[in-house]
Structure 1
């Protein structure tokens, strides 16, 4: 496939823009220290210099530079010792943090040294925290038109995210761009500071609003838009959380000041010429001194590879947290299979050569197959060429649509595909690829339904090493020690990028042949590991089958009522226009509501509004935080804020969705990415159908535009209380299993157990308490968390938990045993064997270890739920095909399947789909799926 068609591959933006890499060194040195084994400069002397964190930092920086090889600016930022303004503002700031372990403290100076030797600028600014240095540099880079990549595992930095600033975590593969922040936290990146202020920061000992957790914080922000608006409406917010909010009103400004990342720090002594960033330009690697450093600290493989000029296979593509568990040697060279491969590549330009290769692939046990195409849009991409491989090093490229004055005569594409079609559609002829779903769509665009896809190396990696990158380049380098041409090597970048069809055939052939045969070679490294583990192999087979069902869902698409969206856009547009007119009246003149410069002139020069803060250049700021503050007292900023919110909803959804309708099908065709979420859940993009806003009336109305064709209806089938049922199965708790087996209201049953009442005596408030306990404990909630959620004191919460565990001892046993098992293995598993890795489960840092322990309890439930919905998709699709039904699955959203159903099949679907979903696994409690029917997605709920 065309390189950038692989969603797991790292591709630069289409525009040619300089890139600034900023590494949160303080975050990563701790994570490297806790994730790595106890390495020593002298392996035979336990008292010698510890080196695990040093090695982890080398690995992480190497992986980052590999992923962003063209970055022109780079800096690694560490906290300086001593106090900062936050300590003066709040004496209890970070009061509960444990002191740095001695073994880590002794590695700080060597880490700084090696980072510099690797060509990075090292920054430690007295009295300024690393986050604030990062924030200031990120905004400076953004202001100069750069793409800014911040590498950190700290979620607090998400408040910096903008279209130009992205947070990545090389240790987990997590990417926090605007869409990633919204998906992870349920709020926009611009709302993250307000979100953090509501929650507080237990690690830094910064209080939030008591009884307010992530769901409540996200709910409030989606309803009100900002913390200032929440505060303004505090009297109308009901319940215990509302009372806590009102009690916290005096604290919130200080909480904001503590948690806000500064973006205007004075770094003049450390970054010469700021806001220009020439002093953090990427430097050259000091090879001689670096080799001596490696020898000194016992990194002999790195030193040897550096001196020989080959670079270290161990350092390339491996991250410090990418261990498969304690038994894995992170630093061994690739297995013998990865040795030098003799390349035998061929360009097929004659029918004689074509027939020879057709005979080879017909006789082969397994053939690597890849396409080069005209587009990343899988529904519209056309084939430029095909590559085939029957053995590592052995491959051929069939150019079919290359153009240009030097392009050779090529075999006719229609005839080539016609001759290949019997082999492509023969399920007995085994094929493999990297992200085969994309290639399935490409072939389908030419009228070919490929059968016999036996393997997908992207999914093999996803099952074996979910926490690592899954792009072919990463896989080949990580497992084989091999590199190759990149798409940018052939086509260039940005405005100067040429279509693949214009690449000279000889260069295109090398690239395409590498794609096919390296995929086959990677398969030979990964498949034996899957074959050797029956449970992982089962998960891989589930993913392969799911990929084919997703292809069919994507291919069919979902029908959009563009007229309904147009009506919604019109209504939003009318309100936006009204707000614009009101803003002009309040300002006393027309102005551009999207222009910070004009807003600043109106606010501060004409109206004399107070200056809340200034930009890095010393001018009064008009960012969203300033608008929200001023909106408390002035109507004009309030109008601008509402105008922006409605404009975003209109631009992102009601205007954009109709433009994404495929003109050939009249439907929207999303892309479901499998190899993304560590829990096994699917993600949807282009468009994202899993993240449509439903917290506001305007957002919910968007789902009304997802409709059925004439003579059809929409059916939604959703698992009921799936994670609690999985907990009952995993814990083997008799009382919890009885509640589900007898079809009781599980929250009422829990309340009866905890409060010692008959079920019919349980009050609605007691049921609510039980519901919080049920769901809280499966997320590993502590007594402190429960007290906060219920608005009670810690003693009462502890008593509730003790009573709960007295009544449900199996749940307590499961939690204790799961944490112990996770600590021993470094991972937990779903019911069906999917592995979920926990790199901080043995961390000496209490809060991080506690977080990993909570994840250990919950991850098997989330992961099992993901496995179950995939099994349901397979069962439903199989039944539809077996029964030759016209019903089609059109969407999968979390634990829900959405179907487009002919009116004559509604009764069958309402009966059969819940039965199939309930029957995909034999758990110790019954699974239950509920269905709804309606003319659109919203009404089917």
Structure 2
């Protein structure tokens, strides 16, 4: 008996399943990839679970089959394949061929017939056989040795339901062969197989259980029960036989079955690696042997690598570089320690200066300091902000850094997840190299660069600068081609230095006040716990959704809003819908907010306070968001909660240094002002330029109430509409925000657009522009691709439309604040002031100002922020001063 295990896969079925099982994904080239990724993941899991030794994949062809010849209406009710899925069918076939997996397609037959034939031949050859398909029609193929596996996905994990012949009998009460007759009687709406009118699944099972076939049932037509079924089968016997023929899977197609050609062998090879790399399947790349994807084989740059490992070699290199006009470099670090510097100054060569005991980082940087400080050498790098921290540490004033390929690639396409050097190599040079993670691994299995073979280590690192050198002009040309020269050179590049300064200076934290704040929160949380226990009538783990669900929905018998597979949902949106049902709901919501506040900020901030300067040095990212907004991490100082009074109090622990004060400058309603400008709505423009309360005006316009009679609630509702419009809000979301009916919310939106018709026209034009071009633009030509607009999925298209409406406004606001940051930072430096910009929070700037410079700083803030851009609406700034960050609000 053969120990071979054959896996046969229904390609169309699994691709369809994968497509709908993952959100619509695409790589940086805009190629849709979700179905391919899902297919490969399912395939690899089943190969492992089945211990398969052989594999074959069957696909349908577009040509009609023998079933269409018998019955023209066969599958006539099927919707066409979504374009986004259809585009991926050739890709999955390329992937399978690269993996050395056989593809079977037979003209005139469906994939089911091909699978039936292959399963038949496989069984006869003595192999254990598994057929993988989401189509239950294939259950008719089940035998004692042929297993039908139907995948099921739960919470992102794919499992399979397995059926041998006895499992089919247990499920349906009929044998696999009789299952065909069952389909003949009951029909199949998905395939447009008619069946016998009036006979459903229960009746069909009863008939076939008793008579085992349609023909035998017809032979006993007068005895058949119920009488209606007897009558219907008698009148539609030929239709039943036709349906049976249509449902019967062919097991004898003309297919050459050579078992050895199905053998699984070398699926993770160079060709597969290259395809996965291009498709950006980063997790799948971890499955490849370290020798796959080696840089030498994929390096089409034809660059000669040089290793510099001695002082003598370094001393000889420096004069060579000194007279060059352009230099690309990359500082290789590991665990915040410099392990070498990669350099390229011509197209043919690249160098890697390896740090060692003889050539330590201090000596290397001191030796090449003159190169970095040489104004005549144009320098290109990748990740300049990190370099600036290193230059600061080694007292190097680097001059003439003209380009950052990292920020350049982001500027061109801000929707990507990563902009690493391997991404740059693939996208702009068409070469495949390993990423650092692929090279070294991750987590516990991660190795050091120094653990690599010497030649691989030095060649890889020297290649990094070569890629930067060769890709620079291509990225620069693309920036010019997309009309983003000003955006990149006047905003994104100068911003790097501003963000570096903010990281370098940091913000001071009073540890004593932070401890006191943490203790205060702890006491409030303890009191809340007691109140919740009293309202519940017992103690329980409030943080446990399962225990909380039992309390709310079983003990307190509150209305069940949503159930999950593990019990009752107690998510935030569920609690929000339960407000007013019981006092415990508000207590639980407050408890959750405060415990998060305590763990994330009151306690979490201690880990980030510098021991020497008592300051927190957050990291500011300019390449994370697709709208251009700056984000803050480790810690995130932009997300400090300010809606709750107790949350806002944490700002009290942030204090200026001695002899300094905080000045906080915040743009007033910048997004709404930009909306007024971009839409050219005369009512909005006039209101802003006359310093009217825009929310009260909107309430007056929408609710037909005199301006002076608008209530605070009406103003609040109008404010929600105003800001909601900017974010493309729909009636459902607005109804949730305002706790009103969907109909009322839609009336608000309709009335808003009636009073501000230019806004409606503008937003419609934003969608139209993005659909035609495939991207949206900000005022300064920041571009955001929106592939979702062309999706066949309604939800995806609706999401794309919201992005198309929001991005020009939110992205323009991000551009404006960046201009203001650059201008104010430059002003403070040019005037040789001691005051510094230390924090940016969306539309707000925080200055640590010296007491002697307060009035000057205020003056400069107003000038630079209000005049950052020239628009039809006056930009206004709210400014406050205080001895803590809290005092400025």
**Counterpart for residue 742 of structure 1:** 690
Structure 1 pair 448/705, CA: closer, same or farther in 2 (3 Å)? same
- Select the residue among 277, 299, 310 that pairs with 2:271: 310
Of 621, 631, 635, 1:673 maps to 621
Tell me which of 347, 352, 370 is aligned to 2:330. Answer: 370
* 1:875 positional shift: 0.6
1:313 and 1:477 in contact (8 A); partners too: no
Equivalent residue, structure 1, for 2:24? 31
Output one character per residue of 1:52-84: Cα deviation in whole Å (capped at 9) or x when no partner: 97x76337878x99xx99x9999xxxxxxxxxx
Partner of 2:306: 346
1:553 corresponds to 2:502? yes
* Aligned-partner Cα distance in 2 for 1:486–1:840: 28
Q: What is the Cα deviation at residue 847 of structure 1?
A: 3.8
- Displacement of 1:662 in angstroms is 2.1
Q: State the number of aligned residues.
A: 680
Change over 3 Å in CA distance of 1:562–1:463 after alignment to 2: same
2:719 matched residue in structure 1: 771
Contact 2:151 2:159 in 1 (8 A): no
Name 2:812's counterpart in structure 1.
864
Say which SS state the counterpart of residue 353 (structure 2) adopts: strand
Secondary structure of 2:345's counterpart equals strand
Contact 1:339 1:480 in 2 (8 A): no
Deviation of the 1:515 alpha carbon = 1.9
Query: 2:239 corresponds to which residue?
Result: none
What is the aligned partner in structure 2 of residue 695 from structure 1? 643
- Larger RCO (CA within 8 A; separation ≥ 6): 1
Match of 1:474 in 2: 423
Deviations 1:259-294 (A, max 9, x none): xxxxxxxxxxxxxxxxxxxxxxxxxxx998899xxx
Distance in 2 (CA, whole Å) between partners of 1:549 and 1:139 is 51
Q: Distance in 1 between matches of 2:638 and 2:502?
A: 14
Q: Verify: 1:512 aligned to 2:473, yes or no.
A: no
Alignment match of 1:437 (pick from 385, 397, 403): 385
The Cα of 1:35 is off from its aligned counterpart by 12
Number of the residue aligned with 1:168? none
Residue 544 of structure 1 is matched in structure 2 by 493
The Cα shift of 1:873 comes to 0.5
- Give the secondary structure class of the aligned counterpart of 2:658: coil
Contact 1:117/1:289 (8 A) holds in 2: no
Secondary structure, aligned partner of 1:676: coil
Ranges in structure 1 where 5+ consecutive residues have no aligned partner: 1-21, 38-51, 75-97, 141-285, 292-304, 321-337, 376-380, 403-408
Alpha-carbon distance between aligned partners in 1 of 2:624 and 2:343, rounded to the nearest angstrom: 27
- How far is the alpha carbon of 1:739 from its aligned partner? 1.4
- Is the alpha carbon distance of 1:569 and 1:31 closer, same or farther for their aligned partners in structure 2, counting shifts above 3 Å? closer
How far 1:136 moved relative to its partner?
Answer: 6.9
Secondary structure (helix, strand or coil) at the match of 1:776 reads helix
The residue correspondences of 1:58-207 to structure 2 (distance < 5 A) are: 58=36, 101-102=80-81, 124=134, 133-135=153-155, 137=157
**2:353 equivalent to 1:398:** yes
More displaced, 642-651 or 341-350?
642-651
**Contact 2:329–2:381 (CA<8 Å) still a contact in 1?**
yes
Residue by residue over 1:185-213, the C-alpha shift from the partner in whole angstroms, topping out at 9 and shown as x without a partner, is xxxxxxxxxxxxxxxxxxxxxxxxxxxxx
| Aligned-residue offset at 1:485 | 4.8
How much does 1:561 deviate? 1.1
Of stretches 339-348 and 805-814 in structure 1, the one that deviates more from structure 2 is 805-814
Give the one of 444, 447, 450 matched to 2:398: 450
Q: Radius of gyration: which is bigger?
A: 2
Greater alpha carbon shift after TM alignment, 827-836 vs 339-348: 339-348
Q: Which residue of 2 aligns with 1:57?
A: 35
Indicate the SS of the match to 1:391. Answer: coil
SS of the aligned residue for 2:502 comes to helix
Shift of 1:534: 3.1
Deviation at 1:519, TM superposition (A): 2.0
CA contact (8 A) 1:35 1:839 kept: no
Instruction: Report SS of the residue matched to 2:820.
Output: helix
Residue matched to 2:140: none
Question: Cα distance, 1:386 vs. partner?
Answer: 1.5
What is the TM-score of this pair, normalised by structure 2? Answer: 0.65
1:421 to 366, 369, 378: 369
Moved more, 847-856 or 578-587: 578-587
Q: CA deviation at 1:823?
A: 1.2
Does residue 709 (structure 1) correspond to residue 657 (structure 2)? The answer is: yes
Confirm or deny: 8 A CA contact 1:530 1:537 kept in the other structure: no
Change (3 A) 1:836 1:60: farther
How many angstroms apart in 2 are the aligned matches of 1:614 and 1:850?
A: 27
Is 2:880 aligned against 1:919?
A: no
Q: For the residues of structure 2 that align with 1:360 and 1:803, how far apart are their CA atoms?
A: 71
Q: Match for residue 528 of structure 1?
A: 477
Other structure's SS at 1:385 match: strand
CA contact 1:615–1:621 (8 Å) conserved in 2: yes
> Mean alpha-carbon deviation: is it higher for 717-726 or for 653-662?
653-662
Report the secondary structure of 2:35's partner residue: helix
Matched, 1:483 2:436: no
Q: Secondary structure at the match of 1:316?
A: helix
Q: Which residue in the other structure is 1:935 paired with?
A: 883
Give the direction of change, closer, same or farther, for the CA distance of 1:834–1:72 in structure 2 (3 Å limit): farther
1:834–1:863 contact (8 Å) kept in structure 2 = yes
How far does the alpha carbon of each residue in 1:757-786 deviate from its partner, in whole angstroms, 9 at most, with x for none?
664455545544543443233333456666
Given that 1:716 and 1:933 are in contact with CA atoms closer than 8 Å, whether structure 2 keeps it comes out as: yes
Q: For residues 577 and 810 of structure 1, do their structure 2 counterparts lie closer, same or farther at Cα, with a shift above 3 Å needed?
A: closer
Q: Offset of 1:738 from its aligned partner?
A: 1.4
1:516-569 per-residue CA deviation (whole Å, 9 max, x = no partner) reads 212222323322111334335534541111111101110111111111111122
Structure 1 residues 356 and 60: alpha-carbon distance in aligned structure 2, compared to 1, 3 A threshold: farther
Instruction: Please state how far the C-alpha of 1:791 moved relative to its aligned partner.
Output: 6.6
Shift of 1:582: 10
- Does the 8 A contact of 1:56 with 1:319 survive in 2? no
Mapped partners of 2:868, 2:534: distance in 1: 62
Instruction: Please say if residues 311 and 359 of structure 2, whose CA atoms lie closer than 8 Å, have aligned partners that are also in contact.
Output: yes
Q: Distance in 2 between matches of 1:474 and 1:106?
A: 25
Task: Report the alpha carbon displacement of residue 669 of structure 1 after superposing the two structures with TM.
Answer: 0.7
Contact 1:887 1:900 (8 Å CA) reproduced: yes
Once the two structures are superposed, residues 486-511 of structure 1 have per-residue CA deviations (whole angstroms, 9 ceiling, x without a partner) of 44566554446455566665443223
Q: CA deviation at 1:621?
A: 11
1: CA distance between counterparts of 2:260 and 2:854? 70
C-alpha distance in 2 between matches for 1:908 and 1:106: 60
* Counterpart selection for 2:829 from 862, 876, 881: 881
Distance 1:824 1:290 in 2: 47
* Cα distance, 1:421–1:671 mapped onto 2, change above 3 Å: same
Answer yes or no: is the 8 Å Cα contact 1:369–1:516 preserved in 2: yes
Q: Which residue of 2 aligns with 1:77?
A: none
**How many angstroms does 1:788 deviate by?**
6.5
Alignment deviations for residues 643-691 of structure 1 (CA, whole Å, 9 cap, x no partner): 8875544332222212211224321111111111000011111111111
Tell me the SS of whatever aligns to 2:666: strand
Go from structure 1 to structure 2 and tell me whether the alpha carbon gap of 1:553 and 1:794 turns closer, same or farther (over 3 Å shift).
closer
- Whether contact under 8 Å (2:299, 2:432) holds in the other structure is no
Instruction: Give the CA deviation at 1:853.
Output: 1.9
Secondary structure at the counterpart of residue 826 of structure 2 = helix
TM-score between the two structures when normalised by the length of structure 1: 0.61
Q: Structure 2 vs 1, CA of residues 766 and 448 (structure 1 numbering), >3 Å: closer, same or farther?
A: same
Between the aligned partners of 2:588 and 2:745, the Cα distance in structure 1 is 44
After alignment, is 726-735 or 347-356 more displaced?
347-356
Contact 1:306-1:312 at 8 Å conserved across structures: no
- Structure 2 residue runs of 5 or longer lacking an equivalent are 1-14, 51-76, 102-130, 137-149, 161-258, 282-297
Instruction: Name the CA distance, whole Å, in 2 between partners of 1:867 and 1:684.
Output: 17
